[in-house]
A and B are shown apart, each in its own frame.
Chain A
Amino acid sequence: GEDVEQSLFLSVREGDSSVINCTYTDSSSTYLYWYKQEPGAGLQLLTYIFSNMDMKQDQRLTVLLNKKDKHLSLRIADTQTGDSAIYFCAERGGSYIPTFGRGTSLIVHP
């Protein structure tokens, strides 16, 4: 079955860039997503990328996709304390059912 892997923690200093990585196994993935979850809240869609794209930029967010290696990354430029949260990578193939990773806890310190 599908599997999505992420590192569990990332700690950065305020103002630095953060890079959160994700690998997935489903070669039929058509869409890949990044979601943000703050404590006690649901998941908020940050951005997505279609599988025929290599890169997508949206303000401070840059998504890179290496389809050959099944590797997805999310770069957050000028990371702020308000970016502290758990970030989930998700992929979706033809089944329309997204599969999520365990999440990366991003800690931003002054």
Chain B
Amino acid sequence: DTGVSQDPRHKITKRGQNVTFRCDPISEHNRLYWYRQTLGQGPEFLTYFQNEAQLEKSRLLSDRFSAERPKGSFSTLEIQRTEQGDSAMYLCASSDSTTGGSLSYGYTFGSGTRLTVV
């Protein structure tokens, strides 16, 4: 297992288009998180899944954003009708809650997908 993978690494899209990003977490990890990071800011929480269930969504996640994790493995984040304000780095992270000790090991992040809306 090579860690958390995100695809694509970069995406340039025109305003109004839809985009979809993919995240493949560490295979043993049952929790998957999406964060957004803009320049000069820390990661801001968007949503997270435990297995296939989406357990929490941030108020940052407008109706144009939707995330899925259909089989409890990979996840997709779709942004519809993109706006220039959506330009950011979208980070995925995973963690394992199934063993008590691993709760302390933090969250493993992918390299992110940088979205530029022009």
B residues apposed to A, CB below 8 Å: 4, 6, 31, 33, 35, 40-45, 48, 56, 91, 93, 95, 97, 103-112, 114
Contacts and interface: CB of A to CB of B under 8 A. Distances in A.
Given A42-B110, A42-B111, A50-B104, A100 B48 contact: no
B97 A96 contact: yes
Contacts of A103: 40-42
Contacts of B111: 40-42
A104 to B, nearest CB: 10
Interface string A33-70: 10100001111110010100000000000000000000
- Secondary structure call for the A interface: strand
A101 B42 contact: yes
A48 B91 contact: no
Nearest to A99: B45
Interface of A: 4, 31, 33, 35, 40-45, 48, 50, 88, 90, 95-103
